[in-house]
Amino acid sequence: MKRALLVGLFLFFGLVGHAHEIRPAYLQIVQIEQNTYQAYWKIPSMGEAAPKLRLVFTGNPKVTPLQAPQSLNNSIIFRYQLEFPDDLRGQNLYIEGLSNTLIDALVRVEYLNEETVVFMLQPDNDQIIIPGESSSWEVIKTYTILGVEHILFGIDHLLFVLALIIITVGFKKIVKTITAFTLAHSITLSMAVLGYANLPGPPVETVIALSIVFLALEIIKNINGEATLTSRKPWLVAFTFGLLHGFGFAGALMDIGLPQSDIPLALAFFNIGVELGQIAFVLVVLGLIYLLKKFKGWSPAMQKVPAYLIGGVAAYWVIDRVLGFWA
């Protein structure tokens, strides 16, 4: 049983070590003349490898590339000029190849009259008739889903929460700790997106990885009987590092973009989506911890295994992200 558990943990965290956050594809279409638009099409990639996704409009526009495809920040970026014979409103947009992926596609259309349309296409819903304006419900649905997906595929954020739960004893204390983390990252996420504060992405991502290494060390010390700052005041550690994690969330959200006419609404429901995903993760972890405590062979030595794996993965991220400064 012990061997099976260890093998399972190593396999899981081995996959995590190679995992990348799954970001959505992003299509921005900006009207520049009556039937002429400029399109910015960003497809997530791993190095030079990217899924084959093609935009198909029923209006059969004339497509003129504005630049050669560019590789930037794990994405392939295309820029086009689209000339339609008729109005874009009411046309069908289909993303060919999306159904063969696990990727969502956020679409934003900006018209000359300053109306903005925001909607999301998904593998099981890969086409839509382009509306003339967005409803508040569409903004709420789109950014809630984006928030949930961001936290559930943001492996570094999840490992930080996992480490916090492992080191925090007592349900009430866990609730207080997770609440402090939520409050902190909500503050910096909002400040960064609204333009009141900002930090460069690469250093933030590196320090986020360091925060996970720190918690892994705290877990080991705690198992060895040492009183640590995190075991005494986990809410303080959660709040402090949560401020940095908020900047990480903000970087992803600003990459995606916000509808200019509904920034507060989109920001609020992205945050709500993050919290819903986080709550789901916490409940699953608490359930697993409860089951492990029922397992008689779960000795202090075994309890160190998750900490070593969490710390090892995070240390790899630190090195990889530091080396990325000079890439």
Alpha-carbon torsion (121, 123, 125, 130), positive or negative: positive
Query: Is residue 38 a contact partner of residue 30, using CB atoms and an 8 Å limit?
Result: yes
Q: Counting beta carbons within 10 angstroms of the beta carbon of residue 89, is it exposed (0 to 12), middle (13 to 18) or buried (19 or more)?
A: middle
- For residues 270 and 153, membership in a common domain is answered with yes
Cβ atoms < 10 Å from Cβ of 167: 23
Beta strands in the chain (DSSP E): 25-33, 36-44, 54-57, 62-65, 70-71, 75-83, 92-96, 105-110, 116-121, 127-129
List strands edge to edge, sheet with 127-129.
54-57, 92-96, 127-129
CATH code where residue 117 lies: 2.60.40
- What is the C-alpha separation between 205 and 207, in angstroms, rounded? 6
- For residues 130 and 190, membership in a common domain is answered with no
- What is the C-alpha separation between 160 and 176, in angstroms, rounded? 15
At residue 134, the pLDDT reads 65
Half-sphere exposure of 113 (CA within 13 A, CB side): 6
- Domain presence at residue 201: yes
- What is the C-alpha separation between 269 and 267, in angstroms, rounded? 6
- Domain presence at residue 13: no
Q: Name the domain boundary from 110, 134, 158.
A: 134
Torsion of CA 313, 181, 166, 293, to 10 degrees: -130
Q: Counting beta carbons within 10 angstroms of the beta carbon of residue 11, is it exposed (0 to 12), middle (13 to 18) or buried (19 or more)?
A: exposed
Note every long-range contact of 132-138, with CB atoms under 8 Å and residues 24 or more positions apart, other chains counting: 132/89, 132/90, 134/259, 134/262, 136/262, 136/265
- Domain presence at residue 31: yes
- Domain presence at residue 19: no
- For residues 37 and 128, membership in a common domain is answered with yes
At residue 23, the pLDDT reads 67
- For residues 130 and 165, membership in a common domain is answered with no
At residue 19, the pLDDT reads 44
Is the whole-model pTM more than 0.85? no
Question: Which residue's structure tokens are 């638009």?
Answer: 37
Chain centroid to Cα 290, Å, comes to 28
Half-sphere exposure of 250 (CA within 13 A, CB side): 26
- For residues 92 and 229, membership in a common domain is answered with no
- For residues 311 and 171, membership in a common domain is answered with yes
- For residues 278 and 157, membership in a common domain is answered with yes
Of 81, 60, 59, 79, nearest in space to 68 by CA: 79
- What is the C-alpha separation between 73 and 53, in angstroms, rounded? 18
- For residues 127 and 169, membership in a common domain is answered with no
- What is the C-alpha separation between 327 and 325, in angstroms, rounded? 6
pLDDT along the chain (327 residues), means of 10: 44 45 79 92 80 90 91 86 90 92 87 83 90 77 86 86 89 90 91 85 89 93 86 92 89 72 82 90 87 69 82 90 77
At residue 66, the pLDDT reads 93
Torsion of CA 103, 116, 145, 120, to 10 degrees: -30
- Domain presence at residue 61: yes
Tokens matching residue 227: 């009183």
Domain around 314: 149-326
Q: How many domains does the chain have?
A: 2
